[in-house]
């Protein structure tokens, strides 16, 4: 244990905390942005700091800082305990904690090529290649970016836990804008994950850029999508929006404790067809939301949220697991050392089925196939689903027909899931970041298989 973490734990104990922890963070990042084959920015980011929590009589106290002087950490520990005592005395709603067995472990990321060992010039060249490859007739603007993060954590608490871990993520993205007269269409694509530079090396960046540009140009000729309650084959991205934005957020334990979720009383009840299974899995190899431990030191876990259509359980922190009498699931997460811990998803996705994608399409007489998502709406209270797609295709007599413009998909999440009648064996997860409300962002991933269901389609 480092001198800083030892001093913090001793100070929390001495100040009388019933429970306390310290999380030390060292976050580095590197970002390249290219537009129209011109370097727009190259930024190296480095931020270090620590956050303390103290729990007293059902109330929390927090303190954080960036000084590496042990005296500053000791003073912060006293402050956190004083805040917790004050909160308890003022009558704030009481919380409980679920005690977990103490863990003492160091986890190392499973990466092949350290991004820090690759020169800045090579990273800029990779983004430039992805941007330059988008150049073709009909393209008005080309964009590409490279982003890496290397986060190191140490966590110790008054229950004798001490864990260290590192999270490394890499992301390559491209966006092309096509123009025909006053008509413009954009296409966006990315690859990311908890990986090193090997993720970039495995990509054909030229093909990647050409594919993004081709998608944008094809969109210029796209037709207006059909409207109404239709048979929709959702691609993995749109399936992931449903998993994350509605079913995932509504499964977060703090929403359940506050009775702000439409799933509060659904344990053991049917919420989808027997083909629907859903997980939140912080251990998913290589996915963008994978973590060795959450911000409370709980090991990452694979949680079954829905099993063959039956709703099975919630996502938990130490606090919500105590309130609901459940085991922590490794979902206590914080944006950084200066933010509080919330119940947050990791990698949330629907499980695979038995069909091949082609079999599902061949069995569909009429409908639409979605292609990529742009945005989704979070509605844990009402359970409504809304997603906007980048584009899609008509399905006619079992074949993929003409391309259609972006669609808005809406409906009740439970009605949609209960209508699922075909699920593909292929699954894919897309990475990104998720905010709790409008802030406190953490890296996540969402996805799933191709699923055939009934959804209200509009837009175009």
| Per-position pLDDT tens, the chain of length 460 | 789 999 999 999 999 999 999 999 999 999 999 999 999 999 999 999 999 999 999 999 999 999 999 999 999 999 999 999 999 999 888 889 988 878 899 999 999 999 999 999 999 999 999 999 999 999 999 999 999 999 999 999 999 999 999 999 999 999 999 999 999 999 999 999 999 999 999 999 999 999 999 999 999 999 999 999 999 999 999 999 999 999 999 999 999 999 999 999 999 999 999 999 999 999 999 999 999 999 999 999 999 999 999 999 999 999 999 999 999 999 999 999 999 999 999 999 999 999 999 999 999 999 999 999 999 888 899 999 999 999 999 999 999 999 999 999 999 999 999 999 999 999 999 999 998 866 789 999 999 999 999 999 997 6
Q: How far apart are the first and last CA of the chain?
A: 58
Q: Answer whether 232's CB lies under 8 Å from 457's CB.
A: yes
Taking the CA atoms of residue 320, residue 238, residue 274 and residue 258 in that order, the dihedral angle to the nearest 10 degrees is 20
Encode 105-120: b = buried (16+ Cβ within 10 Å), e = exposed: eebebebeeebeebee
Residues sharing a CB contact under 8 Å with residue 215, sequence separation 6 or more, in sequence order: 176, 187, 189, 391
Q: Let me know whether 159 and 16 are in one domain.
A: yes
Last residue of a domain, one of 220, 239, 260: 220
Q: Let me know whether 86 and 156 are in one domain.
A: yes
Q: Which stretch of DSSP H or E encloses residue 386?
A: strand 384-396
Q: Let me know whether 202 and 265 are in one domain.
A: no
pLDDT value for 438: 63
Q: How far is CA 201 from the centre of its chain?
A: 24
Q: How many CB atoms lie within 10 A of CB 101?
A: 7
- Between CA 339 and CA 217 the distance in angstroms is 43
> CA of 348: how far to CAs of 97, 247, 290, 443, in Å?
25, 9, 10, 12
Last residue of a domain, one of 169, 185, 220: 220
Determine if residue 322 is left, alpha or beta; phi over 0 gives left, psi from -120 to 50 gives alpha, anything else beta: alpha
- The whole domain housing 100 covers 3-220
Q: Let me know whether 181 and 279 are in one domain.
A: no
pLDDT value for 437: 64
> CA of 185: how far to CAs of 205, 301, 332, 390, 392, in Å?
22, 41, 40, 10, 13
Two tokens at 6? 């030892």
Q: Let me know whether 202 and 298 are in one domain.
A: no
Q: Is 321 helix (H, G, I), strand (E, B) or coil?
A: helix
Task: Give the chain's domain count.
Answer: 2
Q: Let me know whether 216 and 243 are in one domain.
A: no
> CA of 94: how far to CAs of 81, 90, 329, 349, in Å?
15, 11, 21, 33
- Between CA 34 and CA 109 the distance in angstroms is 29
Q: Let me know whether 258 and 208 are in one domain.
A: no
- Between CA 192 and CA 194 the distance in angstroms is 7
* CATH label of the domain that carries residue 213: 3.30.2290.10
| Mode of pairing for the β-strands spanning 399-404 and 384-396 | antiparallel
Q: Let me know whether 197 and 242 are in one domain.
A: no
Q: Let me know whether 209 and 247 are in one domain.
A: no
pLDDT value for 378: 84
- Between CA 180 and CA 78 the distance in angstroms is 64
Q: Let me know whether 32 and 159 are in one domain.
A: yes
Please state whether the predicted TM-score (pTM) of the whole model is above 0.75: yes
Residue entry with tokens 């947050």: 344
Q: Answer whether 457's CB lies under 8 Å from 393's CB.
A: no
Q: How many CB atoms lie within 10 A of CB 3?
A: 10
> CA of 119: how far to CAs of 115, 122, 178, 197, in Å?
8, 5, 32, 11
pLDDT value for 1: 73
Q: Let me know whether 243 and 198 are in one domain.
A: no
Q: Let me know whether 172 and 294 are in one domain.
A: no
Last residue of a domain, one of 189, 220, 251: 220
Encode 279-307: b = buried (16+ Cβ within 10 Å), e = exposed: bbbbebebbbbbbbbbbbbbbbbebbbbb
């Amino acid at each position: 244990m480092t001198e800083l973490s030892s001093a913090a734990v001793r100070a929390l104990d001495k100040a009388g905390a019933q429970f306390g922890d310290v999380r030390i963070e060292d976050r580095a990042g590197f970002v390249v942005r290219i537009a129209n084959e011109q370097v727009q920015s190259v930024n190296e980011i480095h931020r270090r700091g620590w956050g303390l929590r103290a729990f007293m009589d059902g109330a929390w106290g927090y303190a954080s800082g960036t000084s590496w002087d042990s005296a500053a950490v000791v003073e912060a520990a006293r402050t956190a305990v004083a805040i917790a005592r004050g909160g308890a005395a003022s009558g704030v709603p009481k919380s409980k904690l679920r005690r977990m067995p103490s863990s003492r472990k160091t986890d190392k990321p499973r990466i092949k090529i350290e991004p820090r060992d690759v020169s800045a010039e090579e990273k800029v060249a990779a983004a430039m290649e992805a941007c330059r490859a988008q150049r073709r007739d009909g393209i008005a603007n080309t964009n590409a970016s490279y982003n890496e993060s290397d986060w190191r954590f140490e966590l110790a608490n008054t229950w004798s836990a001490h864990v260290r871990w590192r999270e490394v993520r890499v992301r390559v993205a491209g966006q092309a804008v096509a123009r025909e007269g006053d008509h413009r269409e954009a296409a966006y694509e990315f690859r990311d994950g908890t990986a090193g530079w090997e993720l970039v090396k495995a990509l054909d960046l030229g093909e990647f850029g050409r594919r993004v540009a081709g998608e944008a140009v094809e969109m210029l000729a796209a037709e207006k999508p059909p409207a109404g309650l239709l048979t929709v084959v959702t691609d993995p991205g749109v399936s992931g929006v449903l998993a994350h934005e509605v079913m995932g957020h509504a499964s977060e334990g703090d929403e359940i404790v506050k009775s702000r979720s439409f799933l509060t009383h659904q344990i053991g009840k049917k919420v989808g067809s027997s083909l629907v299974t859903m997980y939140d899995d912080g251990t998913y190899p290589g996915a963008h939301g994978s973590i060795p431990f959450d911000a409370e030191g709980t090991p990452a876990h694979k949680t079954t949220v829905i099993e063959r259509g039956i709703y099975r359980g919630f996502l938990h922190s130490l606090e919500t697991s105590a309130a609901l009498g459940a085991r922590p699931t490794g979902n206590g997460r914080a944006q950084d050392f200066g933010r509080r811990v919330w119940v947050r998803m990791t990698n949330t996705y629907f499980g695979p089925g038995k069909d091949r994608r082609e079999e599902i399409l061949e069995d569909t007489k009429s409908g639409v196939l979605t292609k990529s998502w742009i945005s989704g709406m979070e509605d844990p209270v009402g359970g409504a689903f809304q997603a906007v797609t980048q584009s899609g295709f008509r399905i006619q007599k079992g074949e993929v027909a003409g391309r259609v413009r972006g669609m808005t998909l809406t409906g009740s999440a439970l009605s949609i899931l209960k209508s699922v009648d075909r699920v593909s064996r292929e699954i894919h997860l897309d990475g990104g970041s998720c905010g709790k409300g409008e802030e406190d962002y953490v890296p996540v991933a969402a996805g799933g298989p191709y699923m055939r269901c009934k959804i209200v389609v509009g837009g175009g």
